[in-house]
């Protein structure tokens, strides 16, 4: 008789169940670690990805072979929040101070939020927008910025000559003035020269005095000014919109940073804000001048997000955006 000498391996359903539980646990822990570091993954492209895109790390992996420079920077804002800067407002000493360094030098940035808005920090080579923020130079992020009174440190080592820029990485804040220059090596910052605009030629025109009768006839022909009626207030349907473009100064001139910006509700009625802008915002009770009063705060919520609150006590509830403090609104609770 012949015998089959091949080995047969068997297991039990209990062992299979244990193995599946272990594998599921590994997936859960790995996912928690990955998404817990989400800001890190999206803050800077991986070096391989940057090389494939035709870029480089601009000193992100440079070696510190030279001097160490310390730069203390403070986020500040003008009283109307339209002008933002580092250390001092435009026209004042130490406004957005330039930093001069050589290849291999290291600059340590100590930044603190001395303003009333949210801010974050980074170094970039892009002179128009954000480009890629150099890895290691970040302090907080646009999605998790420094709150008023908070601070942090970072460093930047330049691996090549050129012009770099330290900026506030919250969208819109660079355009409002939060940008300084880092000059690495023997390079010069080109100043824009405005072309001379020729003086307009003003031709002399002899004035002819009109006859008195003509003047009277012209005066009589001028129609009475038309007084436009005050538009009806926007009907409130329970939702307040943060419209596209509200993250840029200007909407405050027409009270269209929150639409509608002034609403009246009954006690216990739910109010919802919808972020219809491309920038992140907050809905924070209080005023830009005095700061948050603690009644409600959405924290930072991104484009497409919503925030709701129910107010049970009668009264006035002014509110504003901590990121863009020119955005103000008011709730009246009856």
| Count of CB atoms situated within 10 Å of the CB of 325 | 24
Same domain, 66 and 155: yes
* Of 163 and 279, more confident: 163
Same domain, 244 and 175: no
| 156 belongs to a structural domain | yes
Same domain, 78 and 155: yes
> Residue 97's domain is classified under what CATH number?
2.60.40.420
| Residue 14: per-residue pLDDT | 81
| Residue 225: per-residue pLDDT | 53
| Residue 288: per-residue pLDDT | 86
Same domain, 159 and 253: no
Domain, as residue range, for 257 = 239-333
Distance, in Å, from the CA atom of 284 to the CA atom of 299, rounded to the nearest integer, reads 8
| Residue 252: per-residue pLDDT | 87
Same domain, 252 and 176: no
Q: How many domains does the chain have?
A: 2
Q: Is the pLDDT of residue 58 over 80?
A: no
* Final residue belonging to a domain, choices 167, 184, 201: 184
Same domain, 177 and 92: yes
| 218 belongs to a structural domain | no
* Final residue belonging to a domain, choices 137, 168, 184: 184
Confidence of residue 263 (pLDDT cuts 50, 70, 90): very high
Quick one: what percent of the chain has pLDDT higher than 70?
A: 74
Q: What is the pLDDT of residues 73-129, one digit of tens each?
A: 999 999 888 899 999 999 999 999 999 999 999 999 999 999 888 999 999 988 877
Where do we find the tokens 């509200």?
246
| 13 belongs to a structural domain | no
Same domain, 313 and 248: yes
* Of 266 and 14, more confident: 266
Same domain, 161 and 248: no
Distance, in Å, from the CA atom of 109 to the CA atom of 168, rounded to the nearest integer, reads 13
**pTM, whole model, 2 decimals?**
0.62
Q: Where do the H-state alpha helices sit in the chain? A: 13-36, 38-43, 47-52, 212-221
pLDDT (mean) for 300-318: 92
Confidence of residue 189 (pLDDT cuts 50, 70, 90): low
- Exposed e or buried b per residue across 257-275, where buried means at least 16 C-beta atoms within 10 angstroms of its C-beta: bbbbbbbebeeebebebbb
* Of 190 and 175, more confident: 175
* Final residue belonging to a domain, choices 184, 204, 231: 184
| 208 belongs to a structural domain | no
Q: What is the pLDDT of residues 1-20, one digit of tens each?
A: 555 556 655 667 788 888 88
pLDDT (mean) for 145-162: 93
| 120 belongs to a structural domain | yes
| 148 belongs to a structural domain | yes
Distance, in Å, from the CA atom of 138 to the CA atom of 117, rounded to the nearest integer, reads 18
| 291 belongs to a structural domain | yes
Mean residue pLDDT across the chain = 80
| 47 belongs to a structural domain | no
Max Cα separation, the chain? 140
């Amino acid at each position: 008789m012949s015998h089959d000498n091949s080995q047969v391996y068997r297991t039990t359903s209990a062992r299979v169940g244990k193995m599946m539980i272990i594998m599921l646990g590994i997936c859960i822990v790995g996912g928690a670690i990955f998404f817990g570091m989400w800001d890190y993954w999206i803050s800077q492209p991986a070096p391989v990805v940057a090389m494939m895109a035709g870029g480089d790390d601009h000193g992100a992996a440079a070696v510190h072979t030279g001097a160490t420079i310390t730069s203390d920077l403070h986020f500040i804002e003008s009283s109307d929040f339209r002008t933002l800067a580092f250390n001092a407002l435009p026209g004042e000493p130490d406004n957005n101070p330039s930093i001069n360094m050589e290849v291999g030098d290291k600059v340590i940035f100590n930044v603190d939020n001395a303003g009333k808005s949210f801010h974050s920090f980074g170094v970039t080579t892009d002179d128009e927008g954000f480009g890629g923020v150099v890895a290691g130079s970040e302090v907080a992020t646009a999605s998790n910025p420094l709150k008023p009174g908070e601070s942090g440190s970072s460093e930047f080592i330049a691996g090549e000559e050129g012009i770099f820029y330290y900026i506030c990485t919250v969208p819109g804040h660079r355009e409002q003035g939060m940008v300084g220059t880092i000059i690495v090596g023997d390079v010069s910052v080109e100043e824009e020269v405005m072309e001379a605009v020729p003086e307009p030629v003003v031709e002399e025109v002899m004035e002819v005095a009109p006859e008195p009768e003509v003047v009277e006839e012209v005066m009589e022909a001028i129609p009475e000014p038309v007084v436009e009626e005050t538009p009806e207030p926007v009907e409130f349907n329970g939702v307040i919109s943060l419209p596209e473009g509200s993250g840029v100064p200007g909407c405050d001139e027409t009270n269209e940073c929150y639409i509608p910006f002034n609403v009246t509700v009954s006690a216990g009625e739910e109010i919802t804000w919808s972020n219809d802008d491309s920038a992140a915002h907050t809905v924070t009770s209080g005023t830009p001048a005095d700061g948050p009063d603690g009644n409600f705060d959405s924290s930072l919520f991104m484009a497409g997000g919503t925030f709701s609150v129910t107010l049970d006590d009668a009264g006035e509830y002014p509110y504003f955006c901590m990121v863009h403090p020119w955005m103000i609104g008011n709730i009246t609770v009856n």
